Structures are given as structure tokens and as C-alpha cells.
Amino acid sequence: MSSFLGISLSFIFSALLISPAVSQSSSCSSQTFSGVKFYPHCLNLPNLKAFLHYSYDAANTTLAVVFSAPPSKPGGWIAWAINPKSTGMAGSQALVASKDSKTGAASVTTLSIISYNSLVPGKLSFEVWDLKAEEEAAGALRIFAKVKIPADLAANGKVNQVWQVGPGMSPNGRIQPHDFSTPNLNAMGSLDLTGATTSVPVSGGGDGNSRVHKRNIHGILNTVSWGILFPIGAMIARYMRIFESADPAWFYLHVSCQFSAYVIGVAGWATGLKLGSESNGIQYNSHRNIGIALFSLATLQMFAMLLRPRKDHKFRFFWNIYHHGVGYSILILGIINVFKGLSILNPEHTYKTAYIAVIVTLGGITLLLEAVTWVIVIKRKSASSNKPPKA
């Protein structure tokens, strides 16, 4: 069992610590598209297999662009944006292309992203015109547009660009959230309007990598604590105590396991709070609320150990009900929240399967030990009832 758990956990940790690489299978010079407009500058953007063709008229500060990228899923969307004030997506002025689910026609909408919770089509803070979208033969989408660069940005000769791809559109016309993997978080950089710089200096990639690393640490700590150690600690208390020779060793093992899980879980909870404070507008409400509930219940459980009555105390029965109720609540909520966290981190499916295998293994062992426990209890009761009464 220990070797199996070790192998499975190594898969999970590797997935969370190692970011997937994204290769650029072609170059922007190989791109062809409709129209007679000439775009002298061409960039292979460093993430999401995206390309940007553009021309800039300094006299009237007009930027003409063609942005190309494959959506993350068929029927998904792509976006290219300028952020006038910062380097991330929040505050950016975006052009979003998607296909109509009924007609299959590609179209462009504008999106002024005030925050990550406000992804509603709306007017941009600067002029855009000649908007058009088309689909490539390989399923990628293209955005054609002309943008009036504000005077203060034009004076710098550079603008902050952001690009992104997503899985689809909701029925009410809003874009569905994109992944938060490393390529998605690093899809930003500086665009030299003059074309003198042919690469894209990433203005925030370091922060993006740091944020991904913190998210992975958060995931590892909470998977180990709430998702693995707490269930094992509960199994120790439930099944070791049935063996008389294991008393009081089972109790100290149970306390040590649960206290270790609590300490690691608090560290994971704290990293979650830190991530939340650094990610304005990004909220995972159910994951956050379950995390707060877990921390509160676990803290209550730790303090309850200080108030544990003696076995023969009249309140011990009620304390047991409380202790078991809170403990099983932590167990269930912890596993649920680990799966919610995995869906947010979005590692490869292999690693989610590895955690499922760990839980299924622990569940199988639990069923086996439960059966053994009932056999032992029934035999003891039978032996006790067959004893002759004392004279």
C-alpha cells in the first residue's frame, strides 16, 4: 500500500510542480489570410500558439492588426487586447472572436475588462473599426482590426498587449473562463509599435511564474493534509482501537497524524489567502468557502482535544458525537475541495486519476477493515454472552 501511495503521490506532485511546455509548431511568416492589406511586422507570440501581424501609422496613431490563435477547445474563443495601464488582463481593452454555435459564422466583439468578474461585451476606451473575424482551415480563428492608439501610449512607442484563448461561450453570450496554466498566465508582453523589436518581452512573466508556483504549493499542501493525512488519521482511530494490544498507541498515532495534517493544512490555507490577495478579481467562491469551513472546523477540532472528558465522564457520550461529526465533516469536505482545487489547477488528467486511485485505495482498505472490525466485535460479544455467570 505504501509503495502504491508513494508512486501515486509522486505523479500528483510532479504535475503540480512541473509546468507543461507549449511548442510553436509554425511561424508567423507562413500565415496567409484574405485581403490585400500589407502587414510589415510579424510576431510569433511566445504562448498559446498565437501570431500577430501588424502595421502602425505614426501620423494618425493607427494600429492595424491580425491576431491568430487556436481556441482551447472546438467552438471556443480567442482574444487580443491592449492594457493601457497595466500588464495583466484586468483593465485591458479586448477584441474577442468566436463562432456562432448555430450559423458557424465567426464574429468579433469588444470587451472592456474592468475585473475578472466583469466579462460583459462593451465599448472600449479607445476607437476600433474594421472589425472582422475568420476561421482558418486548421480550426484557428483570426481577428482583423484597426485601433486608435491613445496619444500617451503612442508617445512611448510601445503598448502592453495581452492575448488569451478559451473553451467557449455561455448561452447568455459571455465568454467562459480560460485555463490558468502557465502559458495562459504568461500570455502578455510589450508590443513595439515601430516593429524595431521582433521579439515580445514578457512584462510580467516572472510574476506569472511565481503565481503558478504558489498555486502549485497551495495544491500540494492541501492535497497532502485535507485529502490524504486526515483520512488516514480517521482510519487509524476507527480501526486500530479495536485491537487491545494497540491501546494507547493508536491514540497517539491518530493525534500525531491529525495534528500534522492540521499544520500542513493551515500552511496551505495561508498560501490560498495570499494568492487571493494577489489575484484581484479572480475568485473561486465555492473552493474558498469550503477552505474557510475546513480551517474553522479543524481549528475547533484541535481545541476540542483540550476539553476531552474522561471515558467515564457523563459528557463523554456527547463529546464523542461532536468529535465524530466534525471529524467526518472535515473528511468529506476535504476530499471535495481537493477535487475542486485540481479542476482549478488543471494538471494533466493522469494526475487527477492518480489522486482518485489513492482515494479508491484508501476506500477499499476502509471497507476491508470495516468488515474485519465487525467480525471481531461480533465474536467478542458472542464469547461474552457464552461465559457462565459468576457465582
Positions at the binding site for heme b:
218, 254, 287, 323
Nearest CA-CA partner of 224 in 335, 332, 329, 325: 335
Q: How far is CA 323 from the centre of its chain?
A: 32
| Partner residues linked to 141 by β-bridges | 69, 135
Q: Which residues make Cβ contacts (< 8 Å) with residue 157, sequence separation at least 6? A: 192, 193, 194
Residue type, 3: S
Helix runs in the chain, H state only: 2-17, 151-156, 182-185, 205-224, 230-239, 249-278, 285-306, 316-345, 349-385
CA distance 299 to 68: 51
CA distance 212 to 230: 26
Binding annotation = 218, 254, 287, 323
Element (H, E) at 96: strand 93-99
Neighbour tally for 307: CB within 10 Å: 9
Q: Is the peptide bond before 71 cis (omega within 30 degrees of 0)?
A: no
Beta carbons of 216 and 17 less than 8 angstroms apart = yes
Cell numbers given for 5: 501511495
